[in-house]
Structure 1
Amino acid sequence: MGFINANADSYDIENYDVNAAVQKDGSVWLTQKIKYDFDGSFHGVYYNQDIKGIGGVSDVSVETIEDGNVEKIPLSDEKTNNTFSQMKSTNQLKLKVYHSVEDKEVTFVYRYLLHGVIKNYKDTAELNWKIIGNQWDVALNNVKINIELPQKNITRLQAWTHGDLSGKTTVSKKQGTVEISLKRNPANTFVESHIVFPVNVTALNQNTSEQNALKSIQRKERALALEANEKRKREEHNKVFFKGIMFILMISVIALWFLWSYMNPGNKSEKKRPIVHSYEIPEPSSEVTQVIYKNKKPDTNAFSAFILELAANHQIEVKELGEKKKDFNIILKDSTLIRDYSIFKEMFNTVGDGTQFTLSELKKFGKKGIEGKALFTAYSLWQKKVVKAANKTRYKDNQNISLRKKALAWLMAVTVVAGGTLFLFANNFLMCGLLVILYIVFLFSCIHYYRSHSLYSEKGQELKYQIMCFRKMLDDIGNFDMKKVGDLVLWEQILPYAVSLGLASKVIAALRINFDATELSTMGVYYPLLIGGNWNFNDALTTSLGSAITNYNSSASGGSGGFSGGSSGGFGGGSGGGAF
């Protein structure tokens, strides 16, 4: 990521183009085009040119290229937008461009003349220059540096580049040019060019020495090149070694997976039986039935079924409040409920007045701070109590659950190893194909193992099968005559399960079709609350309770060489830039 300023804005350098035109007198016209990609708001950019050890700098100009438009930026000390300032010292030229920008790409172009860059020795001319200094705090992408000598057809032209070893150097004696390119230059990493050529190429140069330097330069560069090549060999050897280790590791972990899965057969799931209609009411309560069916905590539908069963047992009383207001009053009849369930303690004593509360009061209650938290906590405790009751049926296969978790751990481990191995072999098509095939074989094996090990015990599978058949009957209830199945006493017992399993509306609609109002009125509390009243109690309760707990939960959450390491001691190491 790019440089981060105080406002957490960032930028990247997308392109870094440099053209250095060497003159006959040993000076260099330097043109730098730096393309910024800004993410956020910035006031401008800066660039510091290191000039220590050369003859200074002059003729500075700045341009911007934005949306295809080129704009010349004037020099000014006012620090106003679209101006630039400069500060010169013996060792450095500091440029600051004031150009406000937000979420955009802008190219900044710097041009100036560097004096005394070339040194003419008795037997050779030399350019030794860190064209990119080590003061960039971001990586530079797509770096291209072109150095043009003032003469073509130079028979004795040699160039070496120092910096990141991934770069490339191209020398053209015919054109008299040296081209340097890198896809990415890491932050705080210099790129140094060291070039030698005949003295007559820069015949007007006044920066001279009577010493011979060519052999010494070639000897030094040969040593640096050998060192760089050795480093490359070591890196390549390490890479090959690491590739081998990763490949063996991947083969090993996959082999170990098959060994582990063979030695841990667990309890295989029985073959799935066809789901048929069942009119047998599940043995567990309606809320526990939902937990077994979904293998999740009970939801507000399960709580609604629980309330309806309490109303049918006369432990609470539910009354509809008027025809215009969709509200119900819930009245406590059995005080042991407060003792046994903290959810009822909160509902009756905190939401209500100790003996009763309304659903509208419950709906608003979740918005309260500490009190809302207490309601949410009490509801969570009720959920845990129901889950505990479901667990007592022993519907879960704890051995299989443990094995399924371990299978997922195997999946994650092998995926990490496979990803790392594929990355290392990215350039080897055949190896990548082999690795992908191996991973796919493992993946299918892992998925099959996971699916074939049901989290339901033998008893749990039978319980779930009965519930699924019972639920299918409820889901298809409009396709058969309910009176032939059983009388209203049976359907009265079934209704809480229909609520808990999310099929209450279908069952109620079928009851209205198959039985008349007189018959339905005999269904005790279920008739006024679900069938014959102005409002459906189940819908009202789930909405109010869901809103109450959600409100709180939401508010809480030697010849010319390529790149080599080291440095040949060129000037310019302190150059760099950024944005502000």
Structure 2
Amino acid sequence: MKRFLLMISLIWSLVCTITIAHADDEVRYSIESYVGHLQLQEDSQATFTQEITYQFQTGYHGQYVTLGSADPLPKGFKIHRHPEVEAYVDGEKREIRVEETDLEDGRQLKIYNARIVGGTVKIKVKWKIDHLLTFYKDIAELNWFPISDGDEKVAKLDFYVDGLDAKQGKLYAHTGYFNPPAQVERTATGYHIWTKDFPKNGKLELHGYWLMTEALRRDQANEINKGNGKEKFLKKEKSIEQKTFFYRTLLLKVVPIVSVLLFILAFIPWIRYFISTRTRRIAKGVRLYEPPQNLPPLVLAKALYQLDFERMVMSREKGQLKFNHLIQATMLDLIDRGNLRLTRDDNGETLTYLHYEGLADFELKFIEMIFDQESAINISEVFSKYKIDKVALKKDFRAAKSDTQRDRIRKIGNEVQSLLKKDAQQLSKGVEKEIAKLGLPSYFRDLTEKEEAFSKTGCALHFWLLLILFVSMCFLSLGFGSHLSSFYFWIILLLVLLFIPFYILVKIREEHLQSLENLDAQFEWMAFRNMIESIPNFNQAELESVVLWNRILVYATLYGQAKKVSQVLQNHQISLPYEDWDTVLWLTTSPNTFLDGSTLMNYADDSYSVSSFSINSSDGSGGFDGGGFSDGGGGGGFGAF
């Protein structure tokens, strides 16, 4: 355990060190504003100016700006090389070095103006672009993405479009189905688009038209497409508007409302299931002063508490009784019945097998497991047939020179494990045989058809809820690239964490369903357990009403109350019919690992360990466009390094 904790600490320290080192190298900044200005000309050329204001919290090497040429774009679209670039640091113009690179679908500028400390940096880039418009007989159309790949969100975004007569035209600004819409205002010279908190990697598309003029027709005679474009333009905008309304209604209203309804409806059958399968109990004040039946602890554990000896040993099955209490109670039961004797002398404690009269098959098997053909053993030798020297075998395993030698060592663990499993199975089958022989009633039952329907309906509704949310999350993420997908992800994770405990409880209930036909017998044992747990608070009259204290002590041991009950017996000088009463008191009041099952559990762990010995105990483009756009081309981004 200490090695495990040390390893976890070392890994955590390494992760923290790497994280801190990475954080030290990271450039931290925000984008305070982005101002774009597109000036269109009748000769089909355009000037595009970008003013990007960075607020750096750390030092930096420089900034970068990209302008894309991703299709679809008008025929002849071209970004001129060597744009004008200026940089201002805290309001003062700085000398810079610009590195221009051709990308697969655009051009990138790297602006080097390194600084050790942070500050405010404004980058101004003036691009020249050819053939940005598409011409029809009736209109000139703009369909272009100026922004698509910003590395940080923009606190305030302003964009101006002018140069052509906008009085009889129209401009739309699209940001996607699920992002806040950009506002468009008509100005004296054109249009002003603005929005706040423009998201990281958000897309801004400009889709507009201007009526064709004689000058445009004359200058662009060879570029004019056949047919009119206005009707097509308006039809596309109408489609975007309808789809935006549909998708926003579906994923922001319908899916949440349906999910809430499913969430509520799913718990209704589960609540009815839990009510129907609840465990009936009696009040703590109800007591029974003698055991309802004189049952061996192993039989009682299996019949009333569904605790199987084999599963407790081999699979660490847990329940209302602890394994160490069960083993200790079984030994005390055999001592009380005269089959075993526990004595103490200068040489230690000795456990002696006296006779087998009155023993059931499972009890004979239990004694065989303890004594391993011996008739008297020191308590340190209980269950010794399953003992192996794990430390020595581990040393031999490490020193082994071949796989054959290592396999031979593993085989020792496998053989002991198989022996323990075989004996535990025989004991468990013997307990079941004894239960059938005694004709004990079934205290548990299967689910009724109605209860099973409640369980399946609740699980099915929860499944459909998670499926709807998962499909919606994938739709938002893969189909639209929307940040809302992260919200759906956290909702799904929260629901899964909520449903798992409920599902586990449902399965536990299925395995421990109380039989309503034998409630009286169960209530008697509950009342008897209440009495045992109340013994430390008994008055003199209540103590005198108890007759068979020796049997009471056996069950008190089973229920984990042995020490308290033994203390009461000592304080009131109540003696039991044992030749070695002091030794019995020692057994029930002193912690020891040999007679409480811990030894057997340790041997099981050692055999498993030996049998398992081993030698080594976003950048760029791609994806979907996000939806809510008019299929324009281009692109543009910004960031820092």
CA 1:320–1:44 in structure 2 vs 1: closer, same or farther (change >3 Å)? farther
Q: Cα deviation per residue 1:382-436 (whole Å; 9 max; x = unaligned)?
A: 8955884797533334245775454333333345567899999xxxxxxxxxxxx
Q: Distance in 2 between matches of 1:272 and 1:550?
A: 39
- Residue 126 of structure 1: how far off its partner (Å): 6.7
CA 1:157–1:144 in structure 2 vs 1: closer, same or farther (change >3 Å)? farther
The 3-state SS of whatever aligns with 1:93 is strand
CA 1:110–1:528 in structure 2 vs 1: closer, same or farther (change >3 Å)? farther
User: Aligned residues, how many?
Assistant: 491
Q: Look up the match of 1:93.
A: 107
Q: Look up the match of 1:281.
A: 291
Q: Distance in 1 between matches of 2:111 and 2:333?
A: 76
Q: TM-score, normalised by structure 1?
A: 0.59
Q: Look up the match of 1:455.
A: 513
CA 1:257–1:266 in structure 2 vs 1: closer, same or farther (change >3 Å)? closer
Q: Look up the match of 1:444.
A: none
User: Which of 566, 571, 588 is equivalent to 1:508?
Assistant: 566
Q: Distance in 1 between matches of 2:418 and 2:65?
A: 60
CA 1:75–1:244 in structure 2 vs 1: closer, same or farther (change >3 Å)? closer
Q: Look up the match of 1:530.
A: 585
Q: Distance in 1 between matches of 2:302 and 2:388?
A: 28
Q: Cα deviation per residue 1:227-279 (whole Å; 9 max; x = unaligned)?
A: 22443566589789977996999699789969xx89xx989988957742222
- Residue 281 of structure 1: how far off its partner (Å): 1.6
Question: Is the Cα–Cα contact under 8 Å of residues 46 and 95 in structure 1 kept in the other structure?
Answer: yes
The 3-state SS of whatever aligns with 1:28 is strand
User: Which of 391, 398, 405 is equivalent to 2:445?
Assistant: 398
Q: Look up the match of 2:47.
A: 27
The 3-state SS of whatever aligns with 1:56 is coil
- Residue 328 of structure 1: how far off its partner (Å): 5.9
1:426-445 alignment runs, 5 A limit: none
The 3-state SS of whatever aligns with 1:179 is strand
1:47-446 alignment runs, 5 A limit: 49-51=67-69, 53-56=78-81, 58=83, 87-88=101-102, 91-94=105-108, 112-116=125-129, 119=132, 128-133=143-148, 145-149=157-161, 155=167, 158-162=170-174, 164-167=176-179, 168-174=181-187, 176-179=191-194, 191-195=204-208, 209=220, 218-232=230-244, 275-283=285-293, 284-291=295-302, 294=305, 296=307, 297=319, 298-300=321-323, 301-313=325-337, 318=342, 357-358=380-381, 370=413, 377=421, 381=425, 385=429, 388=432, 392=436, 393-400=440-447, 404-415=451-462
The 3-state SS of whatever aligns with 1:27 is strand
CA 1:455–1:144 in structure 2 vs 1: closer, same or farther (change >3 Å)? same
Q: Distance in 2 between matches of 1:548 and 1:408?
A: 40
Identical pairs, percent = 16
CA 1:329–1:197 in structure 2 vs 1: closer, same or farther (change >3 Å)? farther
Comparing 522-531 with 475-484, greater Cα deviation is found at 522-531
- Residue 498 of structure 1: how far off its partner (Å): 0.5
Question: Is the Cα–Cα contact under 8 Å of residues 44 and 97 in structure 1 kept in the other structure?
Answer: yes
Q: Cα deviation per residue 1:143-192 (whole Å; 9 max; x = unaligned)?
A: 9753134799975663224563234231112484113579878x8x9542
- Residue 129 of structure 1: how far off its partner (Å): 2.5
Q: Which amino acid aligns with 1:411?
A: G
The 3-state SS of whatever aligns with 2:521 is helix
Q: TM-score, normalised by structure 2?
A: 0.54
CA 1:54–1:44 in structure 2 vs 1: closer, same or farther (change >3 Å)? closer
The 3-state SS of whatever aligns with 1:115 is strand
Question: Is the Cα–Cα contact under 8 Å of residues 348 and 355 in structure 1 kept in the other structure?
Answer: no
Q: Distance in 2 between matches of 1:19 and 1:525?
A: 92
- Residue 493 of structure 1: how far off its partner (Å): 1.7
Q: CA RMSD in A?
A: 6.7
The 3-state SS of whatever aligns with 1:498 is helix
Q: Which amino acid aligns with 2:193?
A: V
Q: Distance in 2 between matches of 1:456 and 1:385?
A: 23
Q: Distance in 2 between matches of 1:117 and 1:383?
A: 90
CA 1:553–1:162 in structure 2 vs 1: closer, same or farther (change >3 Å)? farther
Question: Is the Cα–Cα contact under 8 Å of residues 156 and 194 in structure 2 kept in the other structure?
Answer: yes
Q: Cα deviation per residue 1:478-512 (whole Å; 9 max; x = unaligned)?
A: 3223651345xx21122121011111121011011
Q: Look up the match of 1:432.
A: none
CA 1:268–1:160 in structure 2 vs 1: closer, same or farther (change >3 Å)? closer
Q: Look up the match of 2:596.
A: 541
Question: Is the Cα–Cα contact under 8 Å of residues 158 and 171 in structure 1 kept in the other structure?
Answer: no
The 3-state SS of whatever aligns with 1:178 is strand
Comparing 165-174 with 506-515, greater Cα deviation is found at 165-174
CA 1:483–1:340 in structure 2 vs 1: closer, same or farther (change >3 Å)? closer
The 3-state SS of whatever aligns with 1:146 is strand
Q: Cα deviation per residue 1:466-488 (whole Å; 9 max; x = unaligned)?
A: 1121122212213223651345x
Question: Is the Cα–Cα contact under 8 Å of residues 166 and 182 in structure 1 kept in the other structure?
Answer: no
The 3-state SS of whatever aligns with 1:160 is strand
Q: Look up the match of 1:571.
A: 634
Q: Cα deviation per residue 1:187-211 (whole Å; 9 max; x = unaligned)?
A: 8x954223457999xx9xxxx8467
Q: Cα deviation per residue 1:9-46 (whole Å; 9 max; x = unaligned)?
A: 999x998887242265843333568999xxxxxx9999
CA 1:110–1:85 in structure 2 vs 1: closer, same or farther (change >3 Å)? same
1:545-556 alignment runs, 5 A limit: 545=600
Question: Is the Cα–Cα contact under 8 Å of residues 475 and 503 in structure 1 kept in the other structure?
Answer: yes
The 3-state SS of whatever aligns with 2:49 is strand
Q: Look up the match of 2:544.
A: 484
Q: Distance in 2 between matches of 1:414 and 1:247?
A: 10
Q: Look up the match of 2:480.
A: none
Question: Is the Cα–Cα contact under 8 Å of residues 297 and 558 in structure 2 kept in the other structure?
Answer: yes
Where structure 1 has 5 or more consecutive residues not aligned to the other structure, the ranges are 1-6, 37-42, 77-83, 99-106, 425-446, 557-562
CA 1:533–1:384 in structure 2 vs 1: closer, same or farther (change >3 Å)? closer
